[in-house]
Structure 1
Amino acid sequence: MAIMSRRISLVFIILLLTGCAVYATQKMDQMYGLPSLENREQAVTADEQAFFNGEVKPILDRRCVSCHACYDSPCQLKLTSKAGIERGLSKDLVYDGTRLLASSPTRLYMDGHSLEEWRQKGFNPVLNERAQSPSGNLNGSVLFRALTLKREQGGETQDVLGDEYDFSLSREQQCPSIEEYSEFEKTHPHWGMPYGLPALTTDEHKTITRWLVNGGMIPSAAPLSNELTEQVSVWEARFNRDDLKHRLVSRYIYEHIYLYSLYLDDSDARFRMVRSKTPPGEPVKIIATRRPYDDPQVARVYYRLIPELETKVQKNHIPLSLTEARYAKWMSYLYTPEYKVDSLPSYDYEVATNPFKAFGVIPSYGRYRFLLEHAQNTIMAFIKGPVCRGQVAVNVINEQFWVYFMNPDVDYRNQMSIFLNGQAQHLDMPAELSSNALPISSWISYSEKQKDYLSAKARLIEKATEKGLSVDTSLIWDGDHVNQNAALTVFRHFDNATVVKGLVGETPKTAWVIDYPLLERIHYLLVAGFDVYGNVGHQLVTRLYMDFLRMEGEMNFLLFLPKDERNRLRQYWYRQANQTIKDYIFDDFINVDVPTNISYGTGSHKLELMEKLKKRLKPVLNRRFELTNLALNTDAITSLHKLALVRGNGVRFLPEVSVVLITDELGKPKDVMSVIHNRAHFNISSLLDEEDSLAPEEDTVTIVKGVLGDYPNVFMKVSQNDIVKWSEKITTMEAKRDYVELLNQYGVRRTSSEFWQVSDTIAELNEQARPIESGILDYNRLENR
């Protein structure tokens, strides 16, 4: 009876809300006319263009884009460009870890090219689409109503916001249309925009109001200059030559850099490579497929460069400069070698999802060299691509680890192409199952394939050592003495991650050595082959397969240690792991039974190895993040170094990423640093119960100059004279309340009246330090403590 009563109540509520929405729609229709896209089809005057670009856009960028950009934008509302603003919002989720069937993609500029298409896909406007009048333009705009609702709340009277706010990433989204907004204002009076952050200033609000009252006109992007147009033509001609060899090479390049922001020489303009139905010289007609290797359904694919029209956001910005020198290297690696292309690979899934089948004719040495040239980007794409959102995507990696690469010039390189072509069937990846996969049966199948491959690889290395291959530091790529991509550090921040050049921080627990097959599979598994719109099975099997790749990278590193040390370290890295995982890791068939040729002089073999590798890579180590680069005195630097050596204790209570603004004695900005909380684990092998594998007594922090991480959890502001005291306060924290006291003294909470001032200052310092790599930070993970 109680169940029936609840069902009746639910039906009543639905009918009530539906009735309210119908009534609200009728009322708005009577007051402002019927909605029509034609109401917004007005020419933008020169004054309106200057006003938007000079005054409105900077406010949207600084105050709105921090939450409304990329796939994880609430309600899919992207305020990064004209197309995103006019498209509006949707109630459908992009990230949904429960859906049983893949959903239809809704990628801006890809899956819809007109407002009519987006309205048909269920997107509702945030700008007025009824008759244009001052009152209609304001009352008919969700954007204006949301900003006004925030101002009506008044300033916050408490440091920590109450339960009326929900800051969890998985919170239920409301996404009200303009017809539903009056009811939304009653049920969620605290949910004005910016959500859970200080309101716009009076001047900022007046500027946005002035823009909206006049119709919220947004100018189209300015046409490319003649110089840029000519450069685009040059590059498009290169990528679209007619011979089969060039077409194969262009396909390989595209499938690896399609997410990158491409810079042409010294210009600030950004471009993206797309597949088009039309050749250079004609308007681009994008081929919109789920994955970059899906069947284009055309006889000939053309690779075109289109301008990036969205505001630069750091969390998905992967910059790469297209220069003459880079192109010459690409051709020397991929095109110049002697090989013949009789036909192009098909787009059938069993071929297209496996780069060792699709591109097997291109010598593996050249493919590896191509990837190494921008190895940070190759790894970064798995972090900044669509897979980056969510714990299930990145809980497959440790909190901090160093990455090295196998030397492409090792003696057995001439055998690698033959070996990989023979092993291609064992290197299939989950993407071949499309976006709807069944995880358990898939895991078993790929586990066996991976084991067969590793067993064959072990035999290859053993035979190579019998013929004189020496297992020593010469097997590690040294960046050819100039390339800083040779040494990378990866940080995981619970549900997102960062990769930077250099060996950053104290010596980590684990490290990877990546060879060509591993690097290629990381890309095709987590970037090219990952579908953010896929079902739960696809997402889980992708994560499970990444376990294999992590273990393989770790095993490659262990190869350089004494044989008896390898198992001891494996046991330590996988403490308390499931027995099935241990059985896989310690299987004799996948372990390489060759001794190391490195002479060790201490009992700390891992530390000694890392020091040897650091010495080998010294000419190419990026030192941008070192503490000694901070504008601080010796005592302050020393205190930070001491803090970085702490294990457990007070660092356990810090959030994932703290960005600290350092000021001088007068309170003026002087520098910025980041504190990264590295949460220790007994093992990284559990998909669902990560909490049980945490080892907080072993937690550490990495402290660096500058902004590291794209999703800050908290801002702090510390005078240069207080750095020592601030460091000691963190070290001596014993409970969560001590962290609250730290924030009371140094924190710039989301409720602080100076939040936006500090935010703007950090953004300016970040851009000054990294003009190409930097972008707007994401505030969806700001804590409320």
Structure 2
Amino acid sequence: MFCRLLLGACLLFIGSLQAAQPVSYSRDVQPIFTKNCVACHACYDAPCQLNLGSAAGAERGASKAAVYNGTRTQAQATTRLFLDAHDQAAWRRKGFTSVLDAQGSQAALMARMLELGHQQPLAANSKLPAQLDISINRANQCPLPQEFAEFARKNPQAGMPFAVTGLTEADYQTLQAWIEQGAPVDQQALQASATEAQQVATWEAFMNAPGAREALVSRWLYEHLFLAHLHFAGGEPGHFFQMVRSRTPSGQPVDVIATRRPNDDPGTEFYYRLIPVQGVIVHKTHITYGLSAAKLARVKELFFASDWQADAVPGYGLQRRANPFETFAAIPAQARYQFMLDNAEYFVRTFIRGPVCRGQIATDVIRDNFWALFQDPQHDLYITDAEYREEATALLAMPGQLDGITDLPGLWRSYRDKRNAYEALRMQRYADAPAPSWSHIWAGNDNALLSIFRQHDSASVRKGLIGEVPQTLWWMDYPLLERTYYQLVVNFDVFGNVSHQAQTRLYFDLIRNGAEVNFLRLMPAESRKSYLDDWYQSSGKLKIWLDYQAIDSDSPSALHLIAGDPKRSFVETLLERYGSLNARPDPINRCTGAHCHRSGITAELQRAEQSLSRLTGKPGGTLKVINQLPEATLLRVELTDGQREVYSLLRNRAHSNVAFMLGEELRYQPALDTLTVYPGVLSSYPNFIFNVPAEQVADFVAALEQTRDQSAFEKVVERWGIRRTHPEFWRYFHDMSAYIQQTEPVEAGVLDMNRYENL
């Protein structure tokens, strides 16, 4: 007995010594935040704008103002971390409240939120209570310290981490000890390595070279790379950089000019600088672009090989933002377009996965799955015909620069009419040009073929042609690609008001229509109307009459396609002709024989993929489980050797049309929904995870095939599902990011769980 008492006393003494030791933010706290908090608390959609990906975010605190707000009548002040304020006092003036400071006799707000969560543990792997709202559109109350007691009384299950398995006891005690010690921060800013610093200096010298031509090219490049996470050849793993405008030149500390948009007037002399990206890398904002000596040589070749002139650099202002084709007219259009084509996946990703694509109203302008192709520069009249280019340029201006609520109808009609006048001009000129042939489709590298998937209120893009032949394809030329980029990336203001956001959404509808109609030029003339009628069913026909320019149903195509189903004939020929460029062959979804799996994988995985292929190619009216599945499900297949493979199960919702901003649910065609199954993580926002041993994949697929209702689906979830309350939820969730790290390390980042469903 004495020995046991002595041992207990020793343990208590050791524990008190450990508790007295200062907690290190970088060593002890940030890893806990990264594991348990960053999946929700990052970027613009962090609840209460509490960003826990860095010490700066934790110290900034929380705000009641939501960034994503599609109904506000006035634009909101920008609150971008590391840009719009740089110390706690400045953030307090912007309305942010500390979550780390004690309030008199009350503990810090974070400590109380963690305690509330610790006191209300959730039953292991159980469904959450139905009344607990976990949707991304929930009203986050963001209580102030003096409001917390009432908040906790009304919301006893709203503690942190919210609606997910809680912290371990050790992690909980570490965070509470750190907050009690005053939440000291020892995190050091990420610094460039010697190799990276040398390349930073080279690129900054290039971007800040003297001369009007040089300044104009640098401005165009900056506007096309400002959103990128730049990485250098030979750089450190996990090191990324962003391009900014600074009041200070190279060699001096960066003083960022934080304009609302990248093409706003900087208001002073400035320099382009490259600075390290700080904080935890999260997948949803991690849009990468590589820099190297070869890339710099390519840029110089594209932009400075020809003898073009620029007398002066244009100023800034509304018209310059609205029409970049005028602003940068002096730069050869061939150079601009080819630069974008070289890395087309990056540019499509900026507007498919960037800030504009958050929320159903923002994404319902696109189909749930489609493919994108590009027009070859040598057969793009905007590139090759100077007279046409001059005539078209004035019609390519884009809305969104003025955000008056009462002006919205007039602004919309004005820009719609300009766009339709451009489409009429375009149709006329292309009718007189040689008929499109295979050489008109760009095939420069593996960026030539892209697959886009929409997951209700988010979207993603990947190289290669993934999935079954989609209902629609886009064929983008330079004016389509550049307008999409400027409308949805450069000119989009995530803090803007309802008028600005509506103009952005409405004009993107016209761009989508333009890309679809351009693809129809490849189809036989007599088939085009029937395809258009299929894409714009029911109310879509009204939209065609109201807002769209008529299509060309007469000019021939030079492609020789099978008359019965020319679109499928086109795809089959495309896959044959461009097979070497198709980054992701897809035998699971487009099985043409007995073996519906990838080659070169183990027999165990071959059997798993053969089973999974049974879920593809069947509409929701036949495969009833599709109606139970969320938008993006991740399947983790455990192999007998201890390894695992990850598959994305993407639900492709069918619509009669996607031509209207509201009422999407009225256009659903659930009986036509399909499922795409593909290796890899094809979404930043997983809705659910299944973990299935390889030997049980056939049983898992059979169970899905037999599921007819929610009750049957819940049995599947109970056997193989990883619910938010699963004791090992975070291990499985972060293993998805680990999979990306192993397969595509440059693209790796923490995934977002704001859309993880309560199945």
Judge same fold: TM > 0.5, yes or no. yes
AA matched with 1:196: A
Q: Alignment partner for residue 693 of structure 2, among 715, 719, 723?
A: 719
- The aligned residue for residue 654 of structure 1 is 629
Task: Quote the residue 2:202 is aligned against.
Answer: 234
The 1:92/1:601 distance shift into structure 2, 3 A limit, reads: closer
Which of 597, 616, 629 does residue 558 from structure 2 map onto? 597
Q: Which sits farther off after the overlay, 497-506 or 572-581?
A: 572-581
Q: Work out the CA distance in 2 between the residues paired with 1:282 and 1:129.
A: 38
**Where does residue 274 of structure 1 map in the other structure?**
244
One-letter amino acid matched to 1:199: G
Distance 2:477 2:540 in 1: 27
Q: Write the deviation string for residues 467-505 of structure 1: whole angstroms up to 9, x where unpaired.
A: xxx4111110112xxx21111000000000000110011
CA contact (8 A) 1:317 1:384 kept: no
C-alpha spacing 1:417/1:146, structure 2 compared with 1 (3 Å): farther
Q: Which position in structure 1 is the counterpart of 2:233?
A: 265
1:389 to 345, 358, 361: 358
Match of 2:66 among 74, 93, 97: 93
Contact 2:356 2:492 in 1 (8 A): yes
Who is 1:379 aligned against? 348
3-state DSSP of counterpart to 2:348: helix
CA distances 1:375-425 after superposition (whole Å, capped 9, x unpaired): 111111112322121111110000000110001122756534542332222
How far apart are residue 141 of structure 1 and its match?
2.3
Partners of 1:221 and 1:435 in 2: CA distance: 41
Determine the structure 2 residue equivalent to 1:10: none
2:96 is matched by which residue type in structure 1?
F
Judging changes above 3 Å, is the alpha-carbon distance between structure 1 residues 437 and 53 closer, same or farther for their aligned structure 2 residues? farther
CA distance in 2, matches of 1:414, 1:374: 18
Distance 1:419 1:434, change over 3 A: farther
Deviates most, 634-643 or 718-727:
634-643
Q: CA offsets per residue over residues 257-302 of structure 1, 9 Å max, x none?
A: 101001122213111001112222222221111111111111x331
Find the aligned partners of 1:705 and 1:325 in 2 and give their Cα distance.
31
2:540, 2:656 within 8 Å by CA — same for their partners in 1?
A: no
Q: Tell me whether 488-497 or 759-768 shows the greater mean CA deviation.
A: 759-768
Q: 1:239 to 1:543 in 2, by over 3 A?
A: same
What residue in structure 2 maps to residue 7 of structure 1? none
**Aligned to 1:455, which of 424, 432, 445?**
424
- Select which of 331, 336, 339 maps to 1:370: 339
Matches of 2:526 and 2:182 in 1, distance apart? 73
- RMSD, aligned CA: 2.1
Distance in structure 1 (CA, Å) of the matches to 2:526 and 2:712: 44
Is 1:635 aligned to residue 607 of structure 2?
yes
Q: CA deviation at 1:637?
A: 1.9
Counterpart residue number, 2:656? 682
Q: Distance in 2 between matches of 1:369 and 1:333?
A: 8
Identify which of 514, 523, 542 aligns with 1:580: 542
Give the equivalent residue in structure 1 for 2:12.
none
Tell me if the contact between 1:438 and 1:538 (Cα under 8 Å) persists in the aligned partners. no
8 Å CA contact 1:478, 1:617 repeated in 2? yes
Which amino acid is 2:530 matched to?
R
- Contact kept? 2:510, 2:548, Cα under 8 Å: no
Partner Cα separation in structure 2 for residue 204 and residue 624 of structure 1: 44
**Who is 1:22 aligned against?**
none
Aligned to 1:165: 132
Q: Which runs of 5+ in 2 are unaligned?
A: 1-20, 589-596
Conserved 8 A contact 1:236-1:303: yes
- Secondary structure of 1:388's match? coil
Instruction: For residue 712 of structure 1, report the CA deviation from its aligned partner.
Output: 0.7
In the other structure, the counterpart of 2:379 is 410
Q: How far apart in 1 are the matches of 2:131 and 2:605?
A: 44
Q: Does 1:512 align with 2:447?
A: no
Distance in 2 separating the partners of 1:580 and 1:702: 31
Deviation for aligned residue 1:245: 0.7
- Of 165, 173, 176, which aligns to 1:198? 165
Report the counterpart of residue 510 of structure 2 in structure 1.
548
What is the CA–CA distance in structure 1 between the aligned matches of 2:126 and 2:73, rounded to whole Å? 41
Task: Calculate the TM-score normalised by the size of structure 1.
Answer: 0.88
* More off after superposition, 383-392 vs 174-183: 174-183
Is the 1:263–1:271 contact (alpha carbons within 8 Å) kept by the matching residues of 2? yes
Aligned ranges for residues 321-336 of structure 1 at < 5 Å?
A: 321-336=290-305
Deviations, residues 235-257 of structure 1 (Å, cap 9, x unaligned): 11111011111110010000011
Following the alignment from structure 1 to structure 2, what is the Cα–Cα distance between the partners of residues 777 and 345?
Answer: 41
CA contact (8 A) 1:458 1:592 kept: no
Render the CA deviation track for 1:743-784: whole Å, top value 9, x for unaligned.
122111112222122123333222111211121010001111
Find the aligned partners of 1:232 and 1:321 in 2 and give their Cα distance.
Answer: 12
In structure 2, the residue matched to 1:251 is: 219
- Report the counterpart of residue 283 of structure 1 in structure 2: 253
Structure 1 runs (4+) deviating above 6 angstroms are none
Letter in 2 for 1:320: Y
Indicate the structure with greater helix content: 1
2:522 paired residue among 543, 560, 566: 560
Identity of aligned residues (%): 36
Moved more, 94-103 or 179-188: 179-188
2:745 match: secondary structure: coil
Contact 1:646 1:731 in 2 (8 A): no
Letter of the 1:168 partner, please give it.
S
Determine whether 1:180 maps to 2:147.
Answer: yes
What CA distance in whole angstroms lies between the structure 2 residues aligned with 1:414 and 1:390?
A: 35
Matches within 5 A, 1:312-327: 312-327=281-296
Aligned residues: 722
The one-letter code of the counterpart of 1:596 is S
Does the aligned pair in 1 maintain the 2:403–2:497 contact within 8 Å?
no
Tell me, yes or no, if structure 1 residue 537 matches structure 2 residue 504. no
Shift of 1:70: 0.7
Query: TM-score, normalised on structure 2?
Result: 0.91
Counterpart AA for 1:610: V
Q: Is 1:461–1:592's contact at 8 Å kept on the other side of the alignment?
A: no
Residue aligning to 1:26: none
The answer to whether the Cα contact below 8 Å between 1:277 and 1:287 also exists between their aligned partners in 2 is yes
Q: Which amino acid aligns with 1:599?
A: H
Q: In structure 1, how many angstroms separate the alpha carbons of the residues matched to 2:31 and 2:151?
A: 28
Q: How much does 1:458 deviate?
A: 1.2
| Counterparts of 1:154 and 1:448, CA distance in 2 | 58
Distance in 1 between residues matched to 2:408 and 2:643, nearest whole Å: 51
Among 440, 443, 452, the alignment partner of 1:478 is 443
Q: Tell me the distance in 1 between the aligned counterparts of 2:228 and 2:386.
A: 27
2:93 to 102, 111, 120: 120
1:777 aligns with 2:751: yes
The gaps in structure 1 that reach 5 residues or longer are 1-46
Write the distance in 2 (CA, Å) between the matches of 1:370 and 1:130: 54
Is this contact kept in 1: 2:638–2:691, CA < 8 A? yes
**1:734 equivalent in structure 2:** 708
**Structure 2 residue 471 is matched with structure 1 residue 503:** no
Quote the Cα distance in structure 2 between the aligned partners of 1:98 and 1:455. Answer: 34
Q: Which residue of 2 aligns with 1:622?
A: 583
Tell me, in whole angstroms, the C-alpha distance in 1 between the residues paired with 2:382 and 2:94: 51
